Chain A
Amino acid sequence: MMKRLLGAAAALVLAGSVAGVAHAADKLKVGFIYLGPIGDLGWTYQHELGRQALVKELGDKIETTYLENVPEGPDSERAIEQLVRAGNKLIFTTSFGYMDPTLKVAKKYPNVHFEHSTGYKRDKNMSTYSGRWYQGRYIQGQIAAKMSKVGVLGYIGSFPIPEVVSGINATMLGAQSVNPNIKVKIIWVNTWFDPGKEADAAKALLDQGADIIMQHTDSPAAMQVAAERGKLAFGQDSEMIKFGPKAQLTSILDTWGPYYIARVKAELDGTWKSEDTWGGLDSKMFEMAPYTNMPDDVKKMAEETQAAITSGKLHPFKCPVIGQDGKEVECKGGDHLADGQILGMNFYVKGVDDKLPGK
């Protein structure tokens, strides 16, 4: 509680100082709300790179502001509103937990446009945007199954929300396509960012016999632990090879820049409208880091899978998808699961030996 209060206080202090310097009235003001510090080398860092790309492209027409370390939940509402009051006309809120606060502020200020990342609630002046990272996870699952000597993968989860659950499922489906008997150990750390705890989770997974580390948390701590122990790992959100030159197999790189530039251009042209963007490998919403520390045949397989997914030939959730209970999941998207089923995924696929928290 104390920490959250403080975060909010810090956000308000920041917002206050930012509002003080913003005065060039004729430029479009674009605001960003960040979950972590911009130097987290993961999620927030990638959004910051996107913002920098935006400034590089349109810097003469816009003025950008960001608030970092804004806690999710009700506290963020004040931070978002601060950006509105400071005159920002287009505001990107870059974490799932900002969904309801963003919606609330959007209803209050119909003339301001909002863009919420990774959520599913929209309004006339509120868009959503996200990446189909499960595509990348499928590729990682295949690589992991090939590279694991013992057939046990270690997976560090943040929160059991659909995005993370669909990532685990896609990983397992990919892995099972290579080795049907592959096993995964899952540890939920219930935080997006706590390097110490992420490292502890990685150590626990390795101590329990997993030999590949996959993570859905934001810091390079797990990669570093894998490197120290001479094991392999996948980066998350950004390039983490610096922390495991001999450990990183690949990493899903979020590349927000092109999207931010396109949306701001639309705002400048007056053509902005509320949309739902869910970009995959084909749209360059994310990229795969170079495939490293693996033999050529595994690399070739990964590249072929990537090409097949990009061209639409392969869908990670192609039917039939068998649930953890052994029953076939209803196939609402033709020959693969519908987007809605993936976005709201709250079940494990067969072969995941874990109980979904809260189920």
Chain B
Amino acid sequence: MLLVEAIILSVLAASTPLLLAATGELVTERAGVLNLGVEGMMIVGAACGFAGAWMSGSIIIGALCGIVAGMLMSVIFAFMTLGLAVNQVATGLALTILGIGLSGLIGARFVGERITTAPKLAIRGLTDIPLVGRILFGEDAFVYLSLALIVAVWWFLYRTRAGLVLRACGDNHVSAHALGYPVLRIRLLAVLFGGGCAGLAGAYLPLAYTPFFIPGMTAGRGWIALALVVFASWRPGRLVIGAYLFGAVTILQLHAQGAGVGIPSQFMSALPYLATVIVLVLLSRARTGGSTAPAALGTVFVPDR
């Protein structure tokens, strides 16, 4: 295997959890809800995903457990912010703290256990194509699923009526409400979708990345996903660019160090953040000339009856 090929495969794996979690958060925020609990939902997804896979012996069941766990976490968030109209920022932060603690509790029983990782795809004829075969058809299914998901989200947001309604809720919930759309119900669905994606992103870590569970193993990836959504100015296409750019620079700086480039490693470690922020900011300035945050993002909506 060529070095370039090896690097690209590592980039695909490193970017996938970021892309999955950010996709979910993008939909949530597009509906006008700011859920800062991504890290918490991810780590609970990681714990439950590992637990499910370990007990059942099936990666798919593990992934489903991760999704359901992330959704359950987001239900707590939805109950607080949509049901009781509590401040979204505070609730999101609390959700992360809760998630970190809860995942340690759930996962304590499984620390030190091992599972076999999600199998790499092997499609006869396709995976064997030189150079591109392994990259396009030879990683684990999650990698391709995450790409399919973001395409589906793009199509949903910009090409369907339901997507238009969801965006309307995020931009002006009062108008959406006046037009007769069930704002809170739509937001609930968006929050659930975000939770499921974060749970799956978390589950990806123990199921495909490093096949064991350790408390705190998400190591801040949820926060990066959150930042990616902002810097992608809430657009699916840019989100893909951002996630892969971040993953690529992360892996490349490791390789550069191994090859002895002689640039201070502290700078190298900061590079993924710098590069991603700069590129995405340039992208968003070039096209629209500024931020395109959903206008009602983070604001509480209480329908008048």
Contact = CB atoms under 8 A, between A and B. Distances in A.
Interface of A: 2-3, 6, 9-10, 13, 36-41, 69, 154, 157, 160, 185-191, 193-197, 199-201, 203-205, 207-208, 210, 219-221, 224-225, 228, 242-243, 353-355, 357-358
A4 to B, nearest CB: 10
B243 to A, nearest CB: 14
B289 interface: no
Is chain A's binding surface mostly helix, strand, loop or mixed? mixed
Given A185-B260, A208-B258, A195 B214 contact: yes
Contacts of A199: 209-210
Interface stretch (B6-14, B134-142, B148-156): B6-14
A240 to B, nearest CB: 10
A283 B151 CA distance: 60
Q: Which 7 A-B pairs have the closest CB atoms?
A: A37-B215, A188-B265, A194-B219, A190-B269, A39-B111, A207-B6, A204-B254
Given A243-B114, A243-B212, A208 B269 contact: no
Contacts, number: 131
B210 A41 contact: no
B7 A196 contact: no
Given A195-B219, A204-B10, A224 B257 contact: no
Contacts of A358: 264, 266
Interface residues of B, number: 46
Is chain B's binding surface mostly helix, strand, loop or mixed? helix
B251 A200 contact: yes
B220 interface: yes
A203 B251 CA distance: 10
Contacts of B32: none
Counting chain B CB atoms within 10 Å of each CB, the highest count among A185, A193, A194, A200 belongs to A200
Interface string B253-292: 0110111101011101100000000000000000000000
Interface in B100-132: 100-101, 104, 107-108, 111-112, 114, 117
B114 A187 contact: no
B250 interface: yes
B101 A242 contact: no
B3 A207 contact: yes
A225 B114 CA distance: 13
Nearest to B251: A200
A357 B212 contact: no
A197 B262 contact: no
B223 interface: yes
B147 interface: no
Nearest to A194: B219
B259 A208 contact: yes
B217 A185 contact: no
A37 B221 CA distance: 17
A196 B265 contact: no
B186 interface: no
Contact of B266 (A2, A40, A357): A357
B96 interface: yes
A224 B211 contact: yes
Given A40-B215, A185-B260, 16 more contacts: A9-B93, A10-B97, A10-B100, A39-B112, A41-B214, A154-B258, A160-B265, A199-B209, A200-B250, A203-B10, A207-B7, A208-B255, A208-B258, A219-B217, A224-B114, A224-B210
Contacts of B209: 195-196, 199
A204 B219 contact: no
A196 B211 CA distance: 10
Given A200-B10, A201-B254, A207-B255, A39 B214 contact: yes
Contacts of B211: 224
A188 B97 contact: no
